[in-house]
């Protein structure tokens, strides 16, 4: 029954799935795999270029970049997956209920989302983080507070569309309770689109987290995160290219693999949507 | 678009803008820390001075009264005065906005110049190696964190090749009279070609960074909409009439394929006008985005409030313009 497995039918799908799986494993096993401690700095080895000892070189405190990049994967993956789990669950339920029942609830939520959309995401997140203070949970909260809107809009649109179908009318004619129709009949048909958006949004949230950490309002500096590592490397860009470059490549490859996975998933579920640029709002840039 | 419809759209944007104003006001008021103390930093002041500063900022009044003062100021076009930067907010925004507009126009131009040919050729030669290369390139561009891409550009063009400057709008040694605030225009008005070249060089890296990432999004949109249009009957008819292939593509297909591309470009324009916080930070570009980021960190409420209002208005405005252009390109769409 699991159509999602169709992702593995294409070489591109298999490659991207393998890359993502490798990252997840590397993040989980970071303490075992990493050659050094994430905070262990050797001041004699400051800004050492890539070598046999330090494959990816060291930063300005003499910390091993490979080690910190491995640990950084934990932050990125956790932020991406947790934020998507929260926003997808909340946005989908609110959107499906709004699109199914319409009425006052739908109208009110619609206005709220318009307000949230008029706020640029990055300003919203920077402001929230300035309010909450840097930290992992705060970051997920700040991202979630606005991130659910995309899921809401997709779920509402799909539910509106499904609501017109004959099977909904049929279940009503059969005397089925409305909530049961929504959750047992309509929602399963909305989920494929949601799962595509979820995949694409993981990459988006990871870039957003890195941007905030880059600005110094994301993950606190004592936890290795790719965004703050890139930011640290900015000061020494002219003498040590590897400090910023390596974590950036790690981020790019992971986001690319996730986006590829999302596109493969989309092709499996809804090839017709491809022509309509269905993925556009999901993959975007961070401002 | 009929005038009444347009008016209706404009009016319906007002509550959204008002809501954003209230939201911006509220959420900045809840930031921890006493704004006055943070603004003053380590400077020693008497309690009396503190109090007078508070009353100057209306911070001694109840929250609702503060909101009233803010909103009535907005209506009068008075954005307030920044104590941190000791200047009227309208002037601060006016000083930074031209830099952001300049960067926005350059970015959109770079994006269009790359994306249109790539998207069109990709669609016409769908499935070819050219198409596949373009598609993969676009996906990489979409996945690229812009701030990191900016650093890579600095690494390549400034550190390795040493051909382009890394930050600011013009070399500190060049003095250009400010007339419009647009560096490229001002240098030309002054007849200073050397400064014009310098300003252009400063613009290249940030515009390329943002432009390439935007081109990735736009090229995909152009490709998909071209593909769709090329399958339509009227394109077949045009071909059957014996028109030259590129004539069919550029005259018949492109016009209709442009609509989705226009939406994306218009929205991008609106978003960029708000200033790109990240890329402006990377390239020390003195635009609106950097002003907002530094103001958030400095708790400079008055500036952030005004800027967020401006964002919301540009966002709503860009949506409106895009809708209006829709009807021009395709008269069958009515709002």
- B292-302 tens-digit pLDDT: 888 888 878 78
Average pLDDT, chain A: 86
Mark yes or no for CB contact A259/B142 under 8 Å: yes
Contact A224, A68 (CB under 8 A): yes
pLDDT of A285 > 60? The answer is: no
Instruction: Point out which residues pair with A63 in neighbouring strands.
Output: A41
In A, residues 51-110, which contact B (CB 8 Å cutoff)? none
B316/A contact by beta carbon, under 8 A? yes
For the cut 90, the answer to whether the pLDDT of residue B113 exceeds it is yes
Distances (CA, A) of B14 to A124, B146, B324: 20, 33, 18
Q: Distance, in angstroms, between B219 CA and closest chain A CA?
A: 11
* Residue A41: strand pairing partners: A63
pLDDT at B104 over 90: yes
- Provide, as residue numbers in chain B, all residues whose Cβ is less than 8 Å from the Cβ of A260: 139
pLDDT of residue A85: 97
Which pLDDT band, with edges at 50, 70 and 90, does A1 fall under?
very low
CB–CB contact B147 A211 (8 Å): yes
For an interface test with B, give the residue of A118, A233, A283 to mutate (most B CBs within 10 A): A118
pLDDT at position A281: 37
Q: What pLDDT is recorded for position B45?
A: 75
Residue count (chain B) = 335
Distance in angstroms (rounded) separating the CA atoms of residues A180 and B307: 46
Average pLDDT over residues B128-145: 91
State mean pLDDT over A165-189. Answer: 88
State the nearest Cα–Cα gap between B112 and chain A, in angstroms.
16
Q: Does residue A287 register a pLDDT over 80?
A: no
Q: Cβ(B254)–Cβ(B238) under 8 Å?
A: no
Q: Is the pTM of this model over 0.80?
A: yes
pLDDT class of B38 with cuts at 50, 70, 90 = low
**B87's tokens:** 């200047």
Whether A91 shows a pLDDT value over 70: the answer reads yes
Task: Output phi, psi for A58, to 5 deg.
Answer: -130, 165
**For residue B270, is pLDDT > 80?**
no
The model's confidence at residue A278, banded by pLDDT at 50, 70 and 90, is very low
**Residue A205, pLDDT score:** 94
Chain B, 57 to 76: residues with Cβ < 8 Å from chain A are: none
Q: How far is CA A272 from the centre of its chain?
A: 24
Chain A contact present for B16, CB below 8 A: yes
The crossing angle, in degrees rounded to 10, of helices B89-124 and B254-273 is: 150
B87-88/B81-82 β-pairing = antiparallel
Does the beta carbon of A255 lie under 8 angstroms from any beta carbon of chain B?
A: yes
* Higher-pLDDT residue of B295, B329: B295
Q: What is the pLDDT of residue B68?
A: 86
Question: For A23-45, what is the mean pLDDT?
Answer: 88
- pLDDT one-digit tens code per residue, B40-99: 766 777 888 778 877 877 777 888 888 888 888 878 878 888 877 888 998 999 889 899
Give the pLDDT confidence of B161-194 residue by residue, as tens digits.
888 888 888 877 777 777 788 888 888 888 888 8
Please tell me the distance in Å from B192's CA to the nearest CA on chain A. 31
Average pLDDT along chain B: 83
Lookup: tokens for B193: 């070609």
pLDDT of residue B283: 92
* Separation of alpha carbons B97 and B103, rounded Å: 10
Considering CB atoms only, which of A119, A241, A284 is closest to B155?
Answer: A241
Chains A–B, number of C-beta pairs less than 8 Å apart: 143
- State how far the Cα of A132 lies from the Cα of A138, in Å rounded to an integer: 6
User: What would the mean pLDDT of B203-216 be, rounded to a whole number?
Assistant: 93
């Amino acid at each position: 029954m699991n159509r999602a497995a169709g992702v593995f039918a294409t070489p591109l799908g298999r490659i991207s799935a393998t890359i993502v799986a490798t990252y997840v494993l590397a993040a989980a096993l970071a303490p075992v795999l990493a050659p050094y401690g994430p905070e262990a700095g050797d001041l004699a080895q400051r800004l050492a270029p890539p070598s046999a000892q330090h494959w990816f070189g060291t930063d300005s405190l003499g910390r091993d970049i490979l080690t910190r990049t491995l640990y950084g994967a934990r932050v990125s993956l956790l932020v991406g997956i947790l934020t998507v789990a929260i926003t997808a669950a909340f946005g989908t339920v609110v959107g499906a209920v709004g699109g199914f029942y319409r009425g006052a609830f739908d109208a009110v939520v619609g206005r709220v989302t318009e307000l949230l959309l008029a706020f640029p995401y990055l300003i919203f997140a920077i402001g929230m983080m300035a309010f909450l203070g840097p930290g992992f949970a705060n970051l997920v909260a700040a991202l979630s507070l606005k991130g659910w809107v995309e899921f809401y809009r997709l779920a509402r649109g799909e539910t509106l569309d499904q609501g017109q179908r004959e099977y909904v009318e049929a279940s009503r004619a059969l005397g089925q309770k409305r909530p049961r129709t929504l959750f047992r009949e309509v929602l399963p048909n909305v989920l494929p689109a949601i799962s595509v958006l979820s995949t694409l949004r993981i990459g988006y949230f990871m870039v957003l987290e890195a941007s905030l950490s880059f600005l110094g309002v994301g993950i606190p500096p004592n936890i290795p995160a790719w965004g703050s590592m890139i930011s640290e490397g900015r000061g020494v860009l002219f003498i040590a290219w590897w400090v910023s470059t390596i974590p950036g490549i790690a981020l790019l490859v992971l986001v690319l693999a996730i986006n590829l996975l999302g596109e493969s998933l989309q092709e499996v579920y809804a090839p017709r949507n491809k022509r309509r640029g269905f993925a556009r709002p999901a993959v975007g840039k961070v401002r | 678009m009929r005038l009444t419809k347009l008016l209706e759209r404009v009016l319906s944007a007002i509550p959204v803008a008002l809501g954003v104003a209230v939201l911006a006001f509220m959420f900045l008021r809840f930031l921890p820390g006493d704004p006055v103390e943070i603004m003053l930093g380590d400077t020693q002041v008497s309690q009396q001075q503190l109090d007078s500063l508070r009353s100057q900022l209306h911070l001694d009044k109840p929250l609702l009264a503060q909101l009233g003062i803010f909103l009535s100021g907005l209506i009068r076009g008075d954005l307030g005065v920044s104590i941190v930067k000791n200047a009227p907010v309208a002037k601060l925004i006016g000083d930074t906005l031209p830099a952001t507009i300049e960067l926005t126009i350059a970015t959109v131009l770079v994006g269009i110049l790359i994306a249109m040919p790539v998207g069109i050729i990709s669609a016409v030669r769908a499935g070819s190696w050219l198409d596949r290369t373009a598609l993969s390139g676009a996906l990489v561009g979409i996945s690229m964190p812009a701030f990191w891409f900016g650093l890579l550009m600095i690494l390549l063009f400034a550190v390795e090749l040493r051909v382009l400057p890394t930050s600011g709008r013009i070399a500190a040694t060049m003095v250009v009279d400010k007339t419009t605030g647009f560096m490229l225009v001002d240098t030309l008005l002054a007849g200073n070609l050397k400064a014009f070249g310098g300003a252009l060089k400063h613009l290249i890296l940030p515009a390329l960074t943002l432009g390439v990432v935007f081109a990735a999004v736009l090229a995909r949109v152009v490709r998909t909409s071209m593909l769709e249009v090329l399958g339509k009957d009227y394109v077949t008819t045009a071909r059957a009439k014996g028109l030259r292939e590129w004539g069919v593509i550029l005259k018949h297909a492109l016009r209709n394929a442009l609509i989705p591309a226009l939406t994306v470009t218009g929205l991008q324009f609106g978003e960029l006008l708000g200033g790109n916080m990240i890329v402006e930070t990377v390239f020390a570009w003195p635009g609106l985005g950097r002003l907002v980021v530094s103001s958030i960190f400095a708790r400079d409420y008055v500036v952030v409030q005004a800027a967020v209002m401006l964002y919301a208005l540009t966002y709503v405005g860009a949506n409106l313009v895009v809708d209006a252009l829709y009807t021009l390109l395709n008269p069958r769409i009515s709002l």
